Amino acid sequence: MADTLKLSEVEHVKDASNFLRGTLAGSMQNPITGALYPDDTHLIKFHGSYQQTDRDLDSERKRQKLEPLYSFMIRVRVPGGVATSDQWLRMDELADAYGNQTIKLTTRQAFQLHGVLKRDLKATIQGFNDVLLDSIAGCGDVNRNVMFNPNPHLSRVHEQVYEVTKAISTHLTPRTSAYWELWLDGQSKYSSVLNDGEGDFEPIYGKTYLPRKFKIALAVPPYNDTDIFANDLGLIAIEKNGKLLGFNVAVGGGMGMTFGMPDTYPRLADIIGFVPADKVVDACEQVVTIQRDWGNRENRKFSRLKYTLDRVGLDVFRDELNRRLGFDLEPARAYTFRSSGDAFGWSTGPDGARHLTLFVEGGRVLDTQASQLKAALREIARFHTGDFRLTGNQNLILANVAPEHELAVQAILAEYGVLAEANEVHTGLRRGALACVALNTCSLAFAEAERYLPQLLARLEKVIRAQGLAQDDILLRMTGCPNGCARPYLGEIGLVGRAVGRYNLYLGAAFNGERMNKLYREMLDEDGIVRELTPLLADYAQNRQPQEQFGDFVVRQGYVQPTLSGLTFHE
């Protein structure tokens, strides 16, 4: 580890926290403020929560000499995105009781509750613990929710890979008993915590955990709907005749960067070899421990694994991984990715089971005048004997629908104005669009994203319909800042907020998630975005090659140069 005098502030907070306790107990009991003590705002992330304010109200509350309206976002882990009906119902109940009456489905297949007040945090966490969910490691400098392609209709190997996903998640969950102690009063129906509170230890993370967050995703080709190359560690399942053989290992992905700092950049993971299925959990642990030992703890802007890799080199990293594993990774196996989006509507699995993928705009489950999605899903969950599966694209699969329930599901969706077949009404552009939460609650956001994107899409849809592109799948990703939570640098069209109402426009990512985009124009307002994209979409409609995706087209036509690595992203 670096000289302690050079460590970042957060490293000192973690070191002094007594395995993530800090002064959280006192913070929670302080009635004078809706906020936590400053150091505890770092520590509560490890417990799955961020302290936020309603930025729409900040100016008015300051004028009235009131503190900001503090509240908390809670991120609930769902490894592989698979939740039960009981778990869905409980999240629905907690959103109404303590949150802002909505459920957010994230781009990492987790639940988020927004607007939870400090006094309600403990009751909320206990509420989802009752149905065997937790939020430990939902945020913080640890491995986050482990993603996996959740579509059970795609192949028989999916269930095998899902079991690996759960095993990785459990193995890399922090062992501290602080979560169990602070939120569950030592009494828990479920806890991933292995310690008993007597002499806490972290065999994988150590006392100061990782230098920054760590993300893992798995996928079964040809579908890359978890965008595995955007993760610190991506695992590509290799199977033969329905049997899982193992995984190609990709390391060093990450989407975040900082404006004005060209030595920060998004990066896609590099494939470094193949590991057999029975060794993959150990391989994940060793990749994590190398980053624990080698990652930058002085400057958090350079603390992700991608910067460690570019500093030491892939060959050095691979050699160290082989040394720690005690065997060499095998050469990577052949595979093909075709897409990174979701397929909507009803489908039938190899076992004959029926599944329905629903479009959820912005991942926000709520009731509106036009569509009462939240109410419909609540009614379905009361009898649905299958799963609720969250996708990496903020959508939802009603999986394993019993034959006797299929007509009832259809009827309820129709009654509440929810489209069962997104293809019938929504354009391909809208179906594939992603947006982060951004304003009004994210403290890092410079601009709108989730709240604004539908308005922008309405204007762009007029353009694509005029060009005959309404049903063409074009990936658009929007974020309110450059940190990349909605993976904007993997959008064929990427929009990244610079200021309120102003966005940088990026073009040219690959539809299958294997190439990032490139900056095309800066500081565009809505009119500017539409003005810049209109001739490009017209050119695409008229001059594309058969089956050519929009991202490939703009590169071939020379509108942007391809981004071949993270180090060339800004060129």
Q: Annotated active-site positions, please?
A: 75, 144, 213, 215, 436, 442, 481, 485
Task: Give the total residue count for the chain.
Answer: 571
SS (H, E, C) 76-127: ECCHHHEEEHHHHHHHHHHHHHCCCCCEEECCCCCEEEEEECHHHHHHHHHH
- Is residue 70 within 8 Å of 33, Cβ to Cβ? yes
SS (H, E, C) 502-546: EEEEEECCCCCCCCECEEEEEEECHHHHHHHHHHHHHHHHHHCCC
For helices 85-97 and 121-129, angle between their N-to-C axes, nearest 10 degrees:
170
Q: Which residues contact 527 (CB under 8 A, 6 or more apart)?
A: none
- How far is 104 from 82, CA to CA, in rounded Å? 15
- Is residue 219 within 8 Å of 149, Cβ to Cβ? yes
Label residue 199 left, alpha or beta by phi (over 0 means left) and psi (-120 to 50 means alpha): left
3-state SS class at 133: coil
Sign of CA dihedral 173, 175, 179, 180: positive
- 98 CB burial (10 A radius; 0-12, 13-18, 19+): buried
Cα 357 → chain centroid: 18
Which helix (DSSP H) or strand (DSSP E) does residue 479 occupy? Answer: strand 476-479
What phi and psi values does residue 339 have, to the nearest 5 degrees?
A: -150, 165
- Strand-pairing partners, residue 74, are 49, 113
First to last CA, the chain: 33
Question: ∠ at Cα 400 (394, 401), nearest 5°?
Answer: 100
Number of other CB atoms surrounding residue 530 within 10 Å: 16
- Is residue 137 within 8 Å of 143, Cβ to Cβ? yes
- How far is 27 from 41, CA to CA, in rounded Å? 10
Number of other CB atoms surrounding residue 462 within 10 Å: 12
Structure tokens at 109: 């297949």
User: Considering only CA atoms, which of 383, 392, 384 is closest in space to residue 354?
Assistant: 384
Cα 278 → chain centroid: 26
User: Considering only CA atoms, which of 282, 322, 43 is closest in space to residue 171?
Assistant: 282
